[in-house]
Amino acid sequence: MFKITFLIGLFIIVSSAPSEEWWRDTFIYQVYPRSFKDSNGDGIGDINGITSKLEHLADLNVSAFWISPFFKSPMSDFGYDISNFTDIDPIFGTLDDFSKLITKAKSLNLKVILDFVPNHSSDQHPWFQKSIKRIVPYDNYYVWRNATYVNSTRRPPNNWLSVTRGSAWTWNEVRQQYYLHQFSFFQPDLNFRSSALNKEMKNALSFWTKRGVDGFRIDAIIHAFEDDRFLDEPVKPNTGLPANHPDTLDHIYTRNQNETYQLLRSWRNHLDAMNGTKKIILTESYTTLDELNHSMRYYEYGADIAFNFMFVTSFNNSSAPTDFKKGIEKWLALMPKGNYSSNWVVDNHDNNRVSARFGKIRADQLTMVAAVLPGVGVVYYGDEIGMEDTWLSYNETVDPIGCNAGPENYHITSRDPARTPFQWDSSTSAGFSTNKTTWLRVNSNYHTLNLAAQKTTPYSHYSIFKKLVKLKMMPVIKMGTVEIISIIDMVFVIVRRVPGTHPIVLLINFTDRNVSFDAANHLNIPTNMSVYATSSQNSYTDGMSINTSSLVLIPAVSVILM
């Protein structure tokens, strides 16, 4: 037992006045369509499957869901390699199926957000095939450059490296030029300096908006433009990384370019000029804690939510309360002045699941933090039931980034473990499919870890999640002051209060031992509070009354008091 007698690190932020936009202070849920629900027994999730399960999202009370790409695609990157931006891949269904999804979502008061992938297309897109042949105007739809020759050996135009490792340039024999790809060679970068291409992509936004969507998540936006001088990027000293690793370069010419922000603004204006309610824009803009200014600029240029990935990429199981405190305070302090909403991404399809990053025992903590902080919480399918990463062998691996890494290293880079089918119940293939074989193997823990079981179990991840969604709608979360406190780097606390009313307090014990302290005194909270939600019923039960002047937190516990 560790008894704390003093307090460090208090920080107070006053939230701005709430606004009426529907996404404010709600949870938004990501659906990965291959893995949500299979309606036709082919082992791959599809649009009708999603439609059949919308009641689940309505039951969770999330405001919206965003769907990873279901557009026509050779599926080399499982949909992030699009060969037609305005059609649906037959694996997922038809435009008619999509209309049914929209109609049902509207009837359940759920907003629908699509994934817009503007940085690149598939190399199988007819535009690219015509670009190779220099057919006007497609000749200019992609970024083509001549080779450089060193001692008569052909070399790429510069040292740029792709996110998936190795040169960002691939030689094309027919065109006798290199094309740029920030991701895999089968995902050639689109050239937004072509006005014809620019127009095509705006048409894609209009196409889906007219079909009733409520907004877009913009994929990989930071890569949209590259500096047109095509200069080598500086090599960072002493990274200790292999020379083909993108993190060896300082990406001053290939990421977050001024024209990228202008492009975002043009999409904002384009969507605003369309009829109907305002469309939400969420940008996938990964930044380190040192580069949050980029995220803030995406807000200023038209994003309603510039995804905040700090819980996913900057923190993990070895982070301390002060790391969380500093990161969160930094984000809140940097948020542009005005009517903007902060956001907290808990999980997504590109990273290990939260229970793998923070430990199973801490599976609900990030969602609790996201619920208590002001702004939008962004969760990924399965978070609501604490789904875990699935171990898959190299032979079972299908993610191109995992496959490229080879049998020795695939487990470090593969994104498959976090993409296995949703675990609905304990029937065949976890109720995801009638097929015993699914595109990725179902996690064998589904017999016990599934939604149906959690619905009948008190204190399940599901029941906590539902309480957190309710909490997010409370006025104190929308309007209260925010105090973020680290108690001698062992306990992390968030206090939200509206003067004259009772506060809400989240406490997380980051240590593996009991910690006791006089929370009433140190946090200036009432002596008598009750448990609203807890990650451990061994320690607390809902509604239990707590004497905060002698609070004892068991190892790794998180609890919300009100």
Query: Is residue 510 close enough to count as binding ligand GLC by CB under 6 A?
Result: no
Minimum Å distance from CB 117 to ligand GLC?
A: 6
The DSSP bridge pattern shows strands 528-534 and 545-547 to be antiparallel
Beta carbon of residue 218, minimum distance to ligand GLC (angstroms, whole number): 10
Task: Give the torsion sign (CA, 177, 183, 188, 194).
Answer: negative
Q: Decide: is 220 part of the binding site for ligand GLC (CB under 6 A).
A: yes
Residue 25 or 383: the one with the smaller Cβ distance to ligand GLC is: 383
Q: Under a CB-based contact definition with an 8 Å cutoff, are residues 143 and 170 in contact?
A: no
Residue in 117, 280, 306, 504 binding ligand GLC, rule: CB under 6 A: 117
Sign of the C-alpha dihedral, residues 534, 535, 541, 546? negative
Footprint of ligand GLC on 311-350 (CB under 6 A): 349-350
DSSP helix/strand/coil, 561? strand
For 2, other C-beta atoms within 10 Å of its C-beta total: 14
Contact with ligand GLC (CB under 6 A) among 141, 183, 309, 381:
183
219 assigned to active site: yes
Give the amino acid at 123. Answer: D
Within residues 46-85, the interface with ligand GLC by CB under 6 A covers 77, 80
- If the CB atoms of residues 80 and 138 are measured against ligand GLC, the closer one turns out to be 80
For residues 190 to 219, the per-residue mask of contacts with ligand GLC, x marking binding by CB under 6 A and - elsewhere, is: -----------------------------x
CB of 348 to ligand GLC, least distance (A): 7
Residues in binding contact with ligand GLC, number by CB under 6 A: 9
Q: Determine if the peptide bond prior to 33 is cis (ω within 30°).
A: no
Q: 72 with 88: CB under 8 angstroms?
A: yes
CB-wise, 349 or 478, nearer to ligand GLC? Answer: 349
CA–CA dist 282, 261 (Å, integer): 13
Asked if 233 interacts with ligand GLC (CB under 6 A), we say no
Rounded Cα distance, 422 and 60, in Å? 15
The separation between the first and the last C-alpha atoms of the chain, rounded to the nearest angstrom, is: 25
Instruction: Give the C-alpha distances (Å, rounded to integers) separating 277 from 21, 64, 274.
Output: 10, 15, 9
By C-beta, is 183 or 424 nearer to ligand GLC? 183
List, in sequence order, every beta strand (DSSP E) within 313-420.
343-345, 376-380
For the CB of residue 152, give the shortest distance to ligand GLC in the complex, in Å.
Answer: 35
The least distance separating ligand GLC from the CB of residue 349, rounded to whole angstroms, comes to: 6
Contact status: 306 vs ligand GLC (CB under 6 A): no
Amino acid at residue number 435: N
Q: How far is the CB of 400 from ligand GLC (least distance, A)?
A: 8
Q: Considering only residues 283 through 302, tell me which ones interact with ligand GLC, judged by CB under 6 A.
A: 284
Asked if 224 touches ligand GLC (CB under 6 A), the answer is no
Nearer to ligand GLC, 75 or 477 (CB): 75
Burial of 376 (0-12, 13-18, 19+ CB in 10 A): buried
Q: Which of 77, 89, 189, 219 is catalytic?
A: 219
Site string for ligand GLC, 349-368 (x = CB under 6 A): xx------------------
What phi, psi does 516 have (nearest 5°)? -125, 145
38 catalytic per annotation: no
Residue closest to ligand GLC (Cβ): 80
Identity of the residue numbered 179: Y
Smallest distance from ligand GLC to CB 75, Å: 12
Residue 388 has which token pair? 């875990």
User: Which among 89, 97, 233, 284 is annotated as catalytic?
Assistant: 284
- DSSP, collapsed to helix, strand or coil, labels residue 48 as helix
Give which of 64, 69, 160, 166 is closest to 120, Cα–Cα.
Answer: 69
Q: Which sequence positions are flagged as catalytic?
A: 219, 284
Binding site for ligand GLC (CB under 6 A): 77, 80, 117, 183, 219-220, 284, 349-350
